[in-house]
Amino acid sequence: MEFSHSLISWYNRSKRDLPWRTTNDPYRIWVSEIILQQTRVQQGLSYYNRFIEKFPDIQTLAGADENEVLKVWEGLGYYSRARNMLIAARQISSGHGGLFPSTYDDLLTLSGIGDYTAAAITSIAYGLPYPVIDGNVKRVVSRLLGIRGRLDMQENRKILSVFLQENIDKEDPGTFNQAVMELGALVCKPSLPDCGLCPLSVSCVAYKSGLTHLIPFRKEQTVKVELYRDYFVILSGVEDDRQLLISRSSGSGIWKGLFGFPYRESSGSFPDAGELKHFLLSLLPLRKVRHVSIADNAYRHVLSHRIIHARFHFIEATGLNADPETAYPVHLNSIHQYPFPRLLKRFMEEHPEMFVKKIASERGTKSDFRD
């Protein structure tokens, strides 16, 4: 219990003031936990506030359109999380009478909720003693116990789990869980941990042995695949009747359900002009192409398992044919309604003469494409 007491005392003195820490509402705790998975708190805070403002409760979210949810999520990445939240909200609405489940096992039946999220919700909202085990927690405990080797090994996973189950504060498991995560985020950081500020340093094996730089064991980084994309920004019309050709990503990719521009993807390098012309002809008859230019800069967009190099080609056309199977035209002033991936959002931000001013005239703001 000394471990738990020291940890919680430190947390009560040092914790950050965050909105999801002032509520026991399981819906808001769930929203915060999903947003903060693989997202820094500083970035996640604005998305949390935006999400709660748009969808203040489970019923509002359950009745939302997928495009609405993805638009609020736009730029945050890992869009499957947002789609799973919408599915889970509908599951709660239809299968649980609109009431958020209060048991660990019931939570696990919801789309997108695994052991970590179920433990966080049940401990913080309902006071049930389920320990959370995320990256921060693994780092704190592995250093405290001096665990060497990979933490994905079954033996080491069991050591972590048993230790947390035995030491979690049964009276206040929610605060305990948040305290371990907060310690990992603020003090027991991956590089250069602030061991002098740590309430656990007196019993930390890694600190006393000078091994904090080796524990936890770091896996070799995955080699990222490099892809080369030529995007075609195809416009038609004049002034208030400008149209833009967009497409919607389908399949099971990370950008599923998001909108973008037609593109040609290559590996190794960008293709030559002949290949691009052939692709463009598959979208538009040559007689409809009035002017072609290319953006000054290529873009580099880093994802978890790939790096996308992107070029953008501006196409002025005399008319756009609707083809929902590939791409279809929309009014330029309405593009703020569609969710785009961060790469394309960044491109549009950097070309306000084409995009932002159009939206500003309609909505009275120039911040529609900014996080």
pLDDT digit string, tens, across residues 319-364: 776 555 667 888 888 888 899 999 999 998 888 877 754 443 333 3
Q: Is the full-model pTM beyond 0.75? A: yes
Same fold, 2-208 and 225-363: no
Give residue 68's pLDDT: 94
Annotated catalytic residue, options 2, 33, 53, 239: 33
pLDDT higher than threshold 80 for residue 157: yes
pLDDT class for 47, splitting at 50, 70, 90? very high
Identify the bridge partners of residue 294 per DSSP, sorted by sequence position.
Answer: 313
pLDDT class for 101, splitting at 50, 70, 90? very high
Higher pLDDT, 274 or 72: 72
β-pairing verdict for 225-236 and 306-317: parallel
pLDDT higher than threshold 80 for residue 170: yes
Least confident of 51-60, 290-299, 323-332: 323-332
Residue 209 near residue 203 (C-beta atoms within 8 A): no
DSSP 247-265: EE--TTSTTTT-EE--EEE
With 0-12 / 13-18 / 19 or more C-beta atoms within 10 angstroms meaning exposed / middle / buried, residue 287 is exposed
Q: What sections of the chain are H helices per DSSP?
A: 2-14, 26-36, 41-54, 58-62, 66-73, 79-95, 104-108, 115-126, 135-145, 154-167, 173-186, 205-208, 273-283, 342-349, 356-363
- Let me know the angle formed at the C-alpha of 86 by 36 and 111, rounded to the nearest 5 degrees: 75
Give residue 287's pLDDT: 65
CA distance 293 to 220: 42
Q: Assign 235 to helix, strand or coil.
A: strand
CA distance 148 to 234: 55
Give residue 364's pLDDT: 34
Specify the CATH class of 2-208 in words: mainly alpha
Q: Which two tokens stand for residue 318?
A: 């005399």
| Residue-range domain boundaries for the chain | 2-208, 225-363
Q: What is the mean pLDDT of residues 54-66?
A: 96
pLDDT higher than threshold 70 for residue 226: yes
Percent of the chain predicted with pLDDT > 90: 58
Give residue 56's pLDDT: 97
Q: What is the mean pLDDT of residues 79-103?
A: 94
Question: Helix 66-73 vs helix 41-54: angle between axes, to the nearest 10 degrees?
Answer: 150
pLDDT class for 113, splitting at 50, 70, 90? very high
Q: What is the mean pLDDT of residues 127-131?
A: 96
SS3 letters across 88-116:
HHHHHHHHCCCCCCCCHHHHHCCCCCCHH
Q: Which two tokens stand for residue 83?
A: 């789609």
Q: What is the mean pLDDT of residues 9-29?
A: 95
Higher pLDDT, 295 or 348: 348
What distances in angstroms separate CA 97 from CA 30, 58, 239, 258, one per listed residue?
Answer: 18, 11, 50, 30
Distance in Å from the first CA to the final CA of the chain: 43
Q: CA gyration radius for the chain? A: 25
pLDDT class for 370, splitting at 50, 70, 90? very low
Give residue 124's pLDDT: 97
Higher pLDDT, 41 or 288: 41
Q: What is the mean pLDDT of residues 263-271?
A: 87
What distances in angstroms separate CA 295 from CA 232, 292, 299, one per listed residue?
Answer: 10, 10, 10
With 0-12 / 13-18 / 19 or more C-beta atoms within 10 angstroms meaning exposed / middle / buried, residue 22 is exposed
Percent of the chain predicted with pLDDT > 70: 92
pLDDT higher than threshold 60 for residue 98: yes
Residue 146 near residue 215 (C-beta atoms within 8 A): yes
Give residue 71's pLDDT: 93
> DSSP code of 217?
P
Give residue 221's pLDDT: 67
Residue 263 near residue 277 (C-beta atoms within 8 A): no
**Third-level CATH fold of 225-363:** Nucleoside Triphosphate Pyrophosphohydrolase (3.90.79)
Catalytic residue at 325?
A: no
Average of per-residue pLDDT values in the chain: 87
- Give the position of tokens 């979210």: 61
pLDDT digit string, tens, across residues 302-313: 887 889 999 999
